[in-house]
Structure formats: structure tokens, C-alpha cells
Amino acid sequence: MIQFVGGNFASGTATSFTVNLQALYSGIDTGAKPGDLVVAMTAYGAGTGAATLGVSGVAGAEYTNVYSRTVTETVDPSMSVRYKYLTAADATCLVYGATGGRIGIVSVWRGVNPVTPFIAGQSGGQGVTNSPLPVYSGVTPTIPGSVVLAVGCGSVTTQGTQMGMGAGYTRCAGAQAAIASTTSGICGAIGYRNWPGYAAETPGTWTGPTDTNAEGYISATLVLNPIANKSLFTTSNT
């Protein structure tokens, strides 16, 4: 069974900053353990491009990229979603990119398949202008016990309003940041739902900032792959 261990976030204006994996909240534990899976998102609202964004672990070990994108708008959002199976040395992760306001958000998971964290073909992403509120692609999970992740960000010109989840989704963590002016803001979050196991799933539109014409959003829908169930069968010829 997949369990949400906890989430955390950090924001900053330096070229890099850390997110603490041993001060988690809202899950079953306050600290990540070796073998746990981290799904991290970093986002930026100044249009430098998703290629500048990254997440790394101990000794500079880069997290594996899942989905990265930039949307061209008046305020250009960029987002990168990455993952890593943790080692004993991974107490923090490093979020980096170009100088300016940026957010880093982590969600930590236990019970995910130790080789293949995401169900093949079960992901989707979108990027749209004129709205900071993420809208999500639908997926149809195929494995009971899987978890649907909704990862998203929106560029904003006003600060102070966090992203809220759509119906049926629990928020792992969220953050927002601005550079020197209010025209380079970014707001984002990670949410999840335990797949009910009977239908296609489309995460609902989020609530949050009400900016419109100058902003855009980026979203990613991912499906976590659970550890395969193993049953012991015995046979008898009597």
C-alpha cells in the first residue's frame, strides 16, 4: 500500500536553496527514510525556461526528470517535476535555477514500486495562458492501490493566495514566491488522491489566485505505481 509520508516546501531568490526532508508534515511520518520516493516540483515565474530548473540530492546526485515545461505569457511560468529514491544520506534536497523568486515543493511516499515509480503511460500535462489555476489531464490507472498526483503551478502578479485542491484531493504541500516586483510571482502545490479503482480520473481544477490575462499555468498528472501484491498459494492432490 502506498502511504503519504509527508510534504515540505521552501522558497527563495538565491540560485539554490534546500528543502528539508526530515521536517515533513501532513503525512504518516516527520522524516523520510531510505527507500522512500520523493516527488519534487520546482517552479519559477520569470520566464527563464524549464531547462534552468533542477533538483539534486546528496553529493549532487540529480533527481530524474519526469515533466518540464515553460509557458510563454506576460508572466512566464516554468515548472520541472522530478523524483528520487532516497538513500540514508538524503536529509535534504537542493532546488536550483536562475537567480530570482522560485519555489521548491516535495512529497515523500512509502510503498511505491522500488524499480518503476510511475505506471507506464499514465501521465499527462498541460500548459495554458490567461489563467494561473491549473487544469489537469485525465488518466485511467490500471493497478489497484495506485495514487494519482496532481502537480501544478501558476504565474501570478498578486501574492498572498495559496493554491487549493480540487474535489477529492488532499494537499501535500504548496508555496508561493515573488521576485523584486509583483510581476514575476509563482504559486504552486502538489496534491493527491488514492485511486478508487473503478474509473478514469481527472483531477479537478484548483482554486487560488484570480489573476487572468497576464498569467499562465502548467500542470502534470502522474500515477504512482504500488509494490505488487504477492499472494502465497498452496495446492494439494488429495
Render pLDDT for 212-224 as a digit per residue (tens, 0 to 9).
667 888 999 999 9
pLDDT surpasses 70 at 148: yes
Q: Is residue 232 part of a domain?
A: no
CA of residue 162 relative to chain centroid, distance? 15
Q: Is residue 207 part of a domain?
A: yes
Number of domains in the chain: 1
Give the rounded percent of residues in the chain with a pLDDT score beyond 90: 51
Q: Is residue 234 part of a domain?
A: no
Per-residue confidence (pLDDT) for residue 93, from 0 to 100: 93
Q: Is residue 199 part of a domain?
A: yes
Mean pLDDT of the chain: 86
Q: Is residue 133 part of a domain?
A: yes
Higher pLDDT, 37 or 142: 37
Phi/psi of residue 184, each to 5°? Answer: -135, 30
Distances, alpha carbon 144 to alpha carbons 26, 78, 141, 151, 194, in Å? 24, 33, 8, 21, 10
Do 208 and 135 touch, CB atoms closer than 8 A? Answer: no
pLDDT surpasses 80 at 210: no
Per-residue confidence (pLDDT) for residue 130, from 0 to 100: 74
Per-residue confidence (pLDDT) for residue 238, from 0 to 100: 39
pLDDT tens track for 155-209:
887 666 789 999 999 999 999 887 655 567 888 999 999 998 888 899 998 988 8
pLDDT tens track for 26-64:
999 999 999 999 999 999 887 667 878 889 987 678 999
Per-residue confidence (pLDDT) for residue 236, from 0 to 100: 42
Per the structure, the complete domain to which residue 83 belongs is given by 3-224
Cβ contacts of 210 within 8 Å, gap of 6 or more = 158, 161
Q: Is residue 229 part of a domain?
A: no
pTM, two decimals, is 0.91
Q: Is residue 231 part of a domain?
A: no
Higher pLDDT, 194 or 236: 194
